[in-house]
Amino acid sequence: LTSDELFAHIVTTDELLVATGDQGWLTGMLDVEAALARAEAAVGVIPAGAAEAISAACRPDGFDAAEIGRAARGGGNPVIPLVARLTDAVPSEARDYVHWGATSQDILDTAAVLVARRAGGLIAADLERLAASCAALAERHRATVMTGRTLLQPALPITFGLKAAGWLAAVTDCRHALDAALSGLAAQLGGAAGTLASFGPDGPAVLAAFASELGLPEPVMPWHSSRQRMAALAGALGMAAGTASKISGDIALLMQQEVREAAEPAGPGRGASSTLPQKRNPVGAAAVGAAARRAIALVGLFYEGLAGEHERHLVSWPVEWQSLGDLLALAGGAVARTAETVEGLEVDAGVMAQRTEDLAGALLSERLNLVLAGRMGRSAARTAVTEAGRKAGDTDAAAFAEALLSDPDVAAVLTRAEADDLLDPTGYLGANDVWIDRALARHNAADGL
Amino acid sequence: LTSDELFAHIVTTDELLVATGDQGWLTGMLDVEAALARAEAAVGVIPAGAAEAISAACRPDGFDAAEIGRAARGGGNPVIPLVARLTDAVPSEARDYVHWGATSQDILDTAAVLVARRAGGLIAADLERLAASCAALAERHRATVMTGRTLLQPALPITFGLKAAGWLAAVTDCRHALDAALSGLAAQLGGAAGTLASFGPDGPAVLAAFASELGLPEPVMPWHSSRQRMAALAGALGMAAGTASKISGDIALLMQQEVREAAEPAGPGRGASSTLPQKRNPVGAAAVGAAARRAIALVGLFYEGLAGEHERHLVSWPVEWQSLGDLLALAGGAVARTAETVEGLEVDAGVMAQRTEDLAGALLSERLNLVLAGRMGRSAARTAVTEAGRKAGDTDAAAFAEALLSDPDVAAVLTRAEADDLLDPTGYLGANDVWIDRALARHNAADGL
Amino acid sequence: LTSDELFAHIVTTDELLVATGDQGWLTGMLDVEAALARAEAAVGVIPAGAAEAISAACRPDGFDAAEIGRAARGGGNPVIPLVARLTDAVPSEARDYVHWGATSQDILDTAAVLVARRAGGLIAADLERLAASCAALAERHRATVMTGRTLLQPALPITFGLKAAGWLAAVTDCRHALDAALSGLAAQLGGAAGTLASFGPDGPAVLAAFASELGLPEPVMPWHSSRQRMAALAGALGMAAGTASKISGDIALLMQQEVREAAEPAGPGRGASSTLPQKRNPVGAAAVGAAARRAIALVGLFYEGLAGEHERHLVSWPVEWQSLGDLLALAGGAVARTAETVEGLEVDAGVMAQRTEDLAGALLSERLNLVLAGRMGRSAARTAVTEAGRKAGDTDAAAFAEALLSDPDVAAVLTRAEADDLLDPTGYLGANDVWIDRALARHNAADGL
Amino acid sequence: LTSDELFAHIVTTDELLVATGDQGWLTGMLDVEAALARAEAAVGVIPAGAAEAISAACRPDGFDAAEIGRAARGGGNPVIPLVARLTDAVPSEARDYVHWGATSQDILDTAAVLVARRAGGLIAADLERLAASCAALAERHRATVMTGRTLLQPALPITFGLKAAGWLAAVTDCRHALDAALSGLAAQLGGAAGTLASFGPDGPAVLAAFASELGLPEPVMPWHSSRQRMAALAGALGMAAGTASKISGDIALLMQQEVREAAEPAGPGRGASSTLPQKRNPVGAAAVGAAARRAIALVGLFYEGLAGEHERHLVSWPVEWQSLGDLLALAGGAVARTAETVEGLEVDAGVMAQRTEDLAGALLSERLNLVLAGRMGRSAARTAVTEAGRKAGDTDAAAFAEALLSDPDVAAVLTRAEADDLLDPTGYLGANDVWIDRALARHNAADGL
């Protein structure tokens, strides 16, 4: 709601706050009224002079969002007072043509589309930045061996490049989804009940001209009570937010003092504590995670909002207004801050390598298991390997090899040299490079988005 | 987020916007820092003079929320820059004692409690207003017969007073729930990990003095990572929002042109359309329903937020900040606007009575069914009444009586005079007055809340 | 959860319950284990004979879902006991090759894809049925004039065909969205940490063969911790559910006794009440609305689930299992029951026409307003029309014409014959036919989906 | 939905599945019909013999939930077919008195209350178990020093007992909340529109007798369209689920291989992986977290469900049925499994102590900071301590003392012996014991719940 400066900058960017706040909406609504007038003049519905006068008056600096917002309480939406102010602002001969034939929802819906496309452009650019950073990490660290972890426990060796490639693939999905959702956002013009009756036979031509003025696609028919476009957009934004949260969450876990394999970028005041001088908090992950969770809580409103009454929804429609702005600002904020984190990410390849060595016994036990299965049978192999693991604990290659070879049945089929070789993490990375290459290729192919 | 004046006034009140926005939080945080200093002085942890100087500096007009908010991005919360500004603002001999022994979360959590109690007080007052209006309607309309509707279809006669009593009982529940949740909000003081270690043995005494300074209950132990209080508050606010939505939604349905039994208060610009001169929209219901749905979408964040990491939650905690403000403003806005609607509600008792007469055949068929069941057996009675209903359609008493008595089996056990009497809606209101009296009595008993 | 027969049939279909319940999942998991074995044999990783034996054993009737489910508690997923049972079920020489190189998540994720595609096929077919019914109504009722309603109040005349075309356009959106989401569901195979290390260099070839065996697309890389596909599917299902809810909700509102313009199909026991013999409840709308709201509450879980830990998510992954089944069954149930309702919809064109005539004064006031604006100026026209509306109330053409022409300024520029003509609803339908034709054309173009 | 045995046992218990599934609901509905008949006989509304016969027939084994469920589709709720079957099951002279004067919602709502109280009793018992285990850990480990972590980073020393006391305080909150919500669940009896009109003046007496038969509180008035009780219950269950998730999540983090300070209980098959012999997964935390997140997604449905139409809600009411069962089963499952985990928790006090020593420099820097602030001024102290931290890294007491004392300004005011003493974690636990005692005392006082 209004006046949240204390917290807003933590979760989003100035550009998004402007694009999704009063300024963004006011500009959007005025751009729509101007385009409507010009379209009507083009089709011959109103005089060209009136359209010029209206278009000229549609400049945000002539309007006071707070005053209009207060006046909106009576009629339930800000278009009513905006049209009154705009009518006052044009020369008398143009007055009768302001907002001609449109309904409040035509203006607000199309303004919402403009807000979404402008903020969406910022988000798309930040997704691109994030993708580029992930791609760079995937490339640079394709041979940086680290511990792969499933269910928060060490599993197999991977590379940090593979982890980054996974992030990249996810971000590329988000770029495609956002692009599709934004492209689907069509102009809205239907008049009071969707028939454009006040234009007589000219309705469809006015809609076409109006959409063209704004560079928006034309819908099959007005969508006042068909909000599928908005739900799809909300879904795409939820996907971007959740993906940002995944990446920043992984980094926070890697940044734990007990893990220390990567860290958010340092800098003056970054991650400082109000009491503990030594502390470095993963504040990026906190901010991103919080923005994402709040964004995702809003996504459901748009799916619920598909249901509503007849030719215009009583409740679902006003639910969308601030929810859309907040969702754009929060999802976009999550993406932007994650991009910032990944760009400056501190990766400690030494710690990664050391831990992989320290845990080689555990991380490679699948491999030993498979090799021994071929020599002793699967069940005997599993028993032997599990038993060695139990004896040696989470331990390095040497200790594990020793424990394993202390079993005479194993020693009968496996030499120590073989064991040492099999326990080298860099030799058990499977399709690591293939996946990285494929993720990079798809990223490169997405460059045109 | 920031700068939403265009829409905020539609869904909430100025008082709530102030109480839950930057002003409310800044005041809250400064009140907390001041109380902390005074409490520490009282226990002898810091010099009395320092406490006085700090307390004197804790005035919101000396601080710039926007500037602090921007500075908060690095450390992830606004307390860090606020403490820096506050430290600069006190005389040098007091500087070392600002924020002494506290952690950022102590300040923000206790400020959240203050924000919640202040905004909560406004909401409680509006719930009272709403309850009083419902009570007045329940009393005034206890004999105003209308059509009771279940699953959007006419069922039995009720009175409008009974409907209002149902609203009243629901609002009374909300008052109790909100009161309990607000009372449970305790002061927060634990220091960097909850032990108050920096106070040595004085920790508990400082906490007690701090809570007492602020007029807040003392917790059993610090609740940095135990957010049950916040979840309970969110639940109570969700209940208030949902209840407001129920009431305003009933009114919107009664206001349909085809029903017209009640209407939101009229007035200049209220419910006006931007294109249709004749139209009167239920804009109150639209605003309340939208505020309520948005509020309820936020409730879940607080239950999810119970889960989090160790001694301070990484993501759940920052999720709370703006969500709490928004939830208070939205739920409170829904209640306030519903109170306004109910206070000025236009009730058309004539239309209610007329419709009940027009539908008497349908509305009283249960009664006929029961009486005939006693005379013909349940199954035969049901068949006869259903058949009469099918013949007569949704119709008035006379036509229905005729249709029913055209069945010779019915005519054998029921006279026309009896039928006419049984088809009088005012004679089939059951416990109507008992329920109204009970709801009013409970409302009166809640006056002390 | 288990054993909900009492309620499940109200909200969904038998086919969906089978496809998304134990039978569907068990079949899915076994199909995946079989395809894995065959793929591995094709690449030469395991002997062809073993693959045949495993494939032959993968028949659901040999496995007890309840027993496996109970055994799943220890390891946390049903694949572990399923693999144990399957291993027991194959000849000893094939035992070592069961589940070779796969991890539990490979099996469960690919089974989830199969469950989703099979249930999704049922839903797609029901969306088609629903679209076809909407299209038929749009065509049949393109000239059936009715009252268009915005914010639950009469606005302008529309046709019932236009309303149905709006539903059709929305359902067509859902078909495209579901088709895209289902097509995106790829096979999952990555082994314990996504590298397919146990296959050595053969990993990518095994994945390709595996995907091909199942007729599924191959992913760029394993997606164990990249759940974008699942979120997109959830979004598409939420869109289908919400759209069904919109349509069935419109019908429930039209079915109100006070409106009676359309009704859910009648039939033995349909909409019966346990006490009121005359009553006909919109039970379809109740069931659809409830299924949709429950479905949409689940959608958020999939967006939240994008966040999770490292190479396999601890909590987000198990959240998906039953949520996916429930979401498919609920969204699909909502669509299926809406299709049933729309197919048998009772449309009362007479009541629609009568109401439009009764309200012609209100419904056509925009038109009068526009015509008079051209003759008297916009502001004078608005005043005159509003005043006439106030005098005449919601009323028919004649009364409104009279009220309007009693204003001498109006009478000076408008004849009674003109007024009568302008107040004919059938003459003010604007682009009605154009929109219907466009929605039908897009529907026809979607036939290949 | 139906037939989810494969997954249900992972997230909940057999007792809860029975109590919240078909068996629980069928028993509940029949108990309600029986109590209704007995109450009506007690008030003299129906013959005593009929009541006895009806009561005798109300045994679940005579009814087939699946058959009733299928028959429920037409009328939209299972009470209609259940009443038909029950009517067939009683002697002919009692038939007319079955379900006398009640509406379907009376039966289903009161059955829901019985289901909730029975399942709620199981959950309350598991909360007690969980509380007792937490209390035992708090007592036993009150001196087990460990690393306190905020925002996933080491902060100050705490004890494991304090952590357990925090869990205990949270669980005690849940016990109070659940107790209050369950106590508030009242009997439902209002007849077709809430007036109990079919009982004439006897309505309130029948309600009183009915409530008393079932041992339930009597409501102020029927609550068919006032669902505050249900929302409050949902909130309490969400709180229990979220709290369980907090506890099990903390354990999963402590169980990370890199932390290893505590672990879920081991045992045959517990935490096993399908491929990795050495692995021990935190499967309890996975199951609890998943159950909790799914439970919390359902909570919002009950707050949304407060809004609905007139005297009975079209959509909100059927939303409640399976959602309530699922919510009880999931929240209860989360609590039960967390109790199991905490009861068998493996605590490694040695690792905790070792890590605290290893990090003593960091963990005690606040203390050094405070002491030096008193001697050098706050700002100089902060600089010195931060600098020492930078030099020494996350390190033990000796290295940190050395780094610190290498600063001559520090060495001037602090001796090495003092530094060593100040760097002892056991000496900086503040109110640790006070909080533990207070949490235990409140737990003991809650024993009567």
What does the pLDDT average to over D210-227?
A: 98
Encode pLDDT of B205-233 as tens digits.
Answer: 999 999 999 999 999 999 999 999 999 99
Encode pLDDT of A333-345 as tens digits.
Answer: 999 999 999 999 9
Q: In chain C, what residues touch B280 (CB-CB under 8 Å)?
A: 153
State the pLDDT at residue A16: 97
Residue of C nearest to D192 (CA): C275
Q: In chain C, what residues touch B394 (CB-CB under 8 Å)?
A: 257, 278
User: Catalytic: D312?
Assistant: yes
Is the pLDDT at C275 greater than 80, yes or no? no
Residue of A nearest to D297 (CA): A297
State the pLDDT at residue B274: 65
Q: Residue C279's pLDDT band (boundaries 50, 70, 90)?
A: confident
What does the pLDDT average to over D105-132?
A: 98
Is the pLDDT at C299 greater than 70, yes or no? yes
Give how far D314 is from chain C: nearest CA, Å: 5
Q: In chain C, what residues touch D74 (CB-CB under 8 Å)?
A: 267-272, 283
Q: Residue C355's pLDDT band (boundaries 50, 70, 90)?
A: very high
Encode pLDDT of D44-66 as tens digits.
Answer: 999 999 999 999 999 999 999 99
Residue of D nearest to C80 (CA): D274
- Is the CB of B301 less than 8 angstroms away from the CB of A301? no
User: Catalytic: A312?
Assistant: yes
- Is the CB of A431 less than 8 angstroms away from the CB of C195? yes
Is the pLDDT at C106 greater than 80, yes or no? yes
Q: In chain D, what residues touch C285 (CB-CB under 8 Å)?
A: 314-315
DSSP collapsed to 3 states, chain B: CCCCHHHHHHHCCHHHHHHHCHHHHHHHHHHHHHHHHHHHHHHCCCCHHHHHHHHHHCCHHHCCHHHHHHHHHHHCCCHHHHHHHHHHHCCHHHHCCCCCCCCHHHHHHHHHHHHHHHHHHHHHHHHHHHHHHHHHHHHHCCCCEEEEEECCEEEEEEEHHHHHHHHHHHHHHHHHHHHHHHHCCCCCCCHHHCCCHHHHHHHHHHHHHHHHHHCCCCCCCCCCCCCHHHHHHHHHHHHHHHHHHHHHHHHHHHCCCCCCCEECCCCCCCCCCCCCCCCCCCHHHHHHHHHHHHHHHHHHHHHHCCCCCCCECCCHHHHHHHHHHHHHHHHHHHHHHHHHHHHCCEECHHHHHHHHHHCHHHHCHHHHHHHHHHHHCHHHHHHHHHHHHHHHCCCCHHHHHHHHHCCHHHHCCCCHHHHHHHCCHHHCCCCHHHHHHHHHHHHHHHHHC
Is the pLDDT at C271 greater than 80, yes or no? no
Q: In chain A, what residues touch C288 (CB-CB under 8 Å)?
A: none
Q: Residue D449's pLDDT band (boundaries 50, 70, 90)?
A: confident
Closest residue to A275, CB basis, from B20, B103, B300: B103
State the pLDDT at residue B316: 97
- Is the CB of B195 less than 8 angstroms away from the CB of D429? yes
Residue of C nearest to B364 (CA): C276
Residue of B nearest to A329 (CA): B1
State the pLDDT at residue A278: 73
Q: Residue B2's pLDDT band (boundaries 50, 70, 90)?
A: low
Encode pLDDT of B151-195 as tens digits.
Answer: 999 999 999 999 999 999 999 999 999 999 999 999 999 999 999
Interface mutation target, options A151, A171, A227, A248, chain C, most CBs of C under 10 Å: A151
Is the pLDDT at B78 greater than 90, yes or no? yes
Q: Please give the structure tokens belonging to residue D42.
A: 């007690």
Q: In chain A, what residues touch C366 (CB-CB under 8 Å)?
A: 192, 197-198
Is the pLDDT at C269 greater than 80, yes or no? no
What does the pLDDT average to over A383-408?
A: 89
Looking at chain D, which subunits does it touch, using at least 3 CB pairs closer than 8 Å as the criterion? A, B, C
Interface mutation target, options D259, D264, D278, chain A, most CBs of A under 10 Å: D278
Give how far B279 is from chain D: nearest CA, Å: 23
Asked whether A394 and A360 are in contact (CB, 8 A), the reply is no
Is the pLDDT at D335 greater than 80, yes or no? yes
**Which listed residue (B70, B273, B375, B406) is catalytic?**
B273
State the pLDDT at residue B52: 98
- Is the CB of A282 less than 8 angstroms away from the CB of D369? no
Give how far B357 is from chain A: nearest CA, Å: 28
Interface mutation target, options B251, B276, B281, B354, chain C, most CBs of C under 10 Å: B276
**Which listed residue (D273, D378, D416, D438) is catalytic?**
D273
State the pLDDT at residue B394: 72
State the pLDDT at residue B106: 98
Is the pLDDT at B273 greater than 90, yes or no? no
Known catalytic residues of C are: 273, 312
Q: Residue B331's pLDDT band (boundaries 50, 70, 90)?
A: very high
**Which listed residue (A70, A73, A183, A273) is catalytic?**
A273
- For chain C, give the mean pLDDT: 95
Encode pLDDT of B405-417 as tens digits.
Answer: 999 999 999 999 9
Residue of A nearest to C104 (CA): A150
Give how far D410 is from chain B: nearest CA, Å: 18
Encode pLDDT of A138-174 as tens digits.
Answer: 999 999 999 999 999 999 999 999 999 999 999 999 9
Is the pLDDT at C274 greater than 70, yes or no? no
Residue of A nearest to B192 (CA): A275
The answer to which of C256-270, C434-448, D234-248 has the lowest mean pLDDT is C256-270
Interface of B with C (CB under 8 A): 150-156, 252-253, 255-259, 273, 275-283, 286, 355, 359, 361-362, 365-366, 369, 382, 385-386, 389, 394
Give how far D408 is from chain B: nearest CA, Å: 22
- Is the CB of A385 less than 8 angstroms away from the CB of D277? yes
d(CA D257, CA D281): 10
Is the pLDDT at C1 greater than 70, yes or no? no
State the pLDDT at residue A270: 73
On the CB side of B34, how many CA atoms lie within 13 Å of its CA?
Answer: 18
CB pairs A-B closer than 8 Å: 265
- Is the CB of C65 less than 8 angstroms away from the CB of D318? no
Q: Residue D232's pLDDT band (boundaries 50, 70, 90)?
A: very high
- Is the CB of B3 less than 8 angstroms away from the CB of A22? yes
Asked whether A346 and A354 are in contact (CB, 8 A), the reply is no
Encode pLDDT of B347-389 as tens digits.
Answer: 999 999 999 999 999 999 999 998 998 899 888 998 999 889 8
Encode pLDDT of D265-312 as tens digits.
Answer: 987 667 777 667 778 899 999 999 999 999 999 999 999 999 999 999
Encode pLDDT of C58-78 as tens digits.
Answer: 999 999 999 999 999 999 999
Residue of B nearest to C393 (CA): B278
State the pLDDT at residue D295: 98
Interface mutation target, options B147, B150, B153, chain C, most CBs of C under 10 Å: B153
d(CA A193, CA A309): 12
Q: In chain D, what residues touch B435 (CB-CB under 8 Å)?
A: 194-195, 220-222
- Is the CB of C281 less than 8 angstroms away from the CB of B153? yes
d(CA B208, CA B223): 15
- Is the CB of A22 less than 8 angstroms away from the CB of B9? no
Q: In chain B, what residues touch A198 (CB-CB under 8 Å)?
A: 275
State the pLDDT at residue A305: 98
Interface mutation target, options B258, B370, B386, chain C, most CBs of C under 10 Å: B258
- What share of chain B in percent tops pLDDT 90? 90
pTM for the model: 0.97
ipTM computed for the complex: 0.96
Is the pLDDT at A25 greater than 80, yes or no? yes
- What share of chain B in percent tops pLDDT 70? 98
Q: In chain A, what residues touch C150 (CB-CB under 8 Å)?
A: 103, 192-193, 224, 310-312
Q: In 3-state terms, what secondary structure has residue D159?
A: strand
Which helix (H) or strand (E) is A154 found in, with range? Answer: strand A153-159
- Is the CB of C277 less than 8 angstroms away from the CB of B152? no
CB pairs B-D closer than 8 Å: 306
Is the pLDDT at B448 greater than 90, yes or no? no
- For chain A, give the mean pLDDT: 95
